[in-house]
Amino acid sequence: MNHLLVELTKIVGAQHVLTDPELMAPYVTDWTRRWRGDAQAVIRPGNTAEVSAVVRTCRDAGVSITVQGGNTGLVGGSVPATHSDDVAGVPLPVLVSTRRLTRLDEVDQLAGQVTVGAGVTLGDLHKHAGAAGWEYGVDLAARDSATVGGTVSTNAGGIRVIAYGMTRAQVRGIEAVLPDGEVIEHLGGLVKDNTGYDLAGLFTGSEGTLGIITAVRLSLVRPTAATSVALIGVSSFGQALHLLHTAIESEVSVLAAEITDRTGMRLAMEVATLAWPLTGDHQFVLLLEVADGGTGGGFIADALADCDVVIGIDALTKKRLWEYRERQSEAFSVHAAKTAGGIAHKLDISIPLQHLGECADELRDRMSRYPQVDTFGVFGHLGDGNLHVEITGPDADDESVDFEVLSVVAKYQGSVSAEHGIGRAKTKWLDTSRSTSEILAMRAIKQAWDQNNLMNPGVIFT
């Protein structure tokens, strides 16, 4: 064991310094299995003081740090780069996992806020808030693996954005360790606090490039009324958007508006052993969830009169209807594993609503003519224009098919990343969504805070 690892062992304990390749494998391979890197060790600090000491020790040794939460991202942002010949002589990074930072403070009933550690999963946060009579507004399918720190670091969206906004809208304060090991802590939770720069806002979406988030102060919401869920067969994005705006009573809150295409529906049915939920076959299936007291009365009967629709009001039926949507990413991964290539290309994009259908149609046309593509599908968050593109067939390292998709996104003035960040996978395409001036400004912030480029080097910027 080298000197650096000896010092890190003194800080976190031998059981939290992983060097065995088999134990490290789940940490250095991303969730999609498209990206895998090399690290000296995986370090698992248990509190903020240990994180600070780890960062100082790595800084003094000139060793870079890869920061990781639940490792559920799609862009390789939480795994180290492969150590190739062009960086010979540069020491391997240390991967710092925040999963042991599981602080869960008592819910502040007056403020409707809670302070939690970066390693708390969304699922555990939901349970904790629920037990105190509150809800957390961010939710996504990977809730039992994704961590709060990771979702703040990528400004995650999920299925409730249409109701509560992105993660940034929930953040009221932050504790983080800077690249020099110093700790900043601003967890008071004041709604009005204009005392200089919004450091919590700056850290949100920074993807570990400015430091390590250790704890966050979050806003909570009161539970909504009981809900109803509708699955509706539609022929186009245009029809789906029309129903979103015409088929729901005006006084009823919309909690989710999701869309899935026929390909994804069929694959989810296979992986989850589900039956086709509607009477007829449809190009797309729209899912709407509304807070209407769980009666189904939040939907306007006349607007749905000519539609193929099923409505769930009891918990079991609603859970089953949601499965068609929440099993999408898993279904494409399972399908890819059974076919050529073995790994699905998963692209997270955002398109202006007025161009959503046109963009999806062009993507489908291009993918139908792309020689290596075996299966292509889209699903995602209709209400905010965030689509997830799934492609099977091309090799995992075939970036040309990614470029084909992202070039269409640029054509329609969309974003190459809606909710998963830039990571390592999309650094080449950052300039399609950000101007030169914006990128220079972001680089200046990175340089000012992390002069030696030790925090997640290669993430966001090439």
Domains and CATH numbers, the chain: 3-97 (3.30.43.10), 113-219 (3.30.465.10), 227-326 (3.30.70.2190), 334-421+428-438 (3.30.70.2740)
β-strands 284-291, 227-234 pairing: antiparallel
Report the DSSP beta bridge partners of residue 233.
Answer: 285, 308
Provide the CA 413 distance to its chain's centre, in angstroms: 21
What CA–CA distance (Å, rounded) separates 267 from 347? Answer: 18
Question: Which DSSP string corresponds to 80-132?
Answer: PPP--GGGTTSPPPEEEE-TT---BPPPBTTTTEEEEETT-BHHHHHHHHHHT
Region for 263 from its dihedrals, namely left if φ exceeds 0, alpha if ψ lies in -120 to 50, beta otherwise: alpha
Q: What is the pLDDT along the chain (462 residues), one digit of tens a residue?
A: 699 999 999 999 999 999 999 999 999 999 888 889 999 999 999 999 999 999 999 999 999 999 999 999 989 999 998 865 445 678 999 999 999 999 999 999 999 999 999 999 999 999 999 999 999 999 999 999 999 999 999 999 999 999 999 999 999 999 999 999 999 999 999 999 999 999 999 999 999 999 999 999 999 999 998 999 999 999 999 999 999 999 999 999 999 999 999 999 999 999 999 999 999 999 999 999 999 999 999 999 999 999 999 999 999 999 999 999 999 999 999 999 987 568 999 999 999 999 999 999 999 999 999 988 999 999 999 999 999 999 999 998 889 999 999 999 999 999 999 999 999 999 999 999 999 999 999 999 999 999 999 999 999 998
Contact 345, 33 (CB under 8 A): no
0.85 cut: is pTM over it? yes
- pLDDT at site 90: 83
What CA–CA distance (Å, rounded) separates 73 from 460? Answer: 14
What CA–CA distance (Å, rounded) separates 200 from 117? Answer: 14
Q: Which two tokens stand for residue 115?
A: 């302070």
Q: Distance between terminal CA atoms of the chain?
A: 32
What CA–CA distance (Å, rounded) separates 377 from 425? Answer: 20
- 326-346 burial: b if 16+ Cβ within 10 Å, else e: bbbbebbbbbbeeeebebbbb
Residues 6+ apart with CB under 8 A from 407: 432
- The single-letter DSSP state of residue 223 is P
- 20-39 burial: b if 16+ Cβ within 10 Å, else e: eeeebeebbbbbbebbebeb
What CA–CA distance (Å, rounded) separates 310 from 248? Answer: 15
Contact 120, 146 (CB under 8 A): no
**Sole residue written with tokens 């009823």:** 252
Classify the C-alpha dihedral 277-355-327-126 as positive or negative.
negative
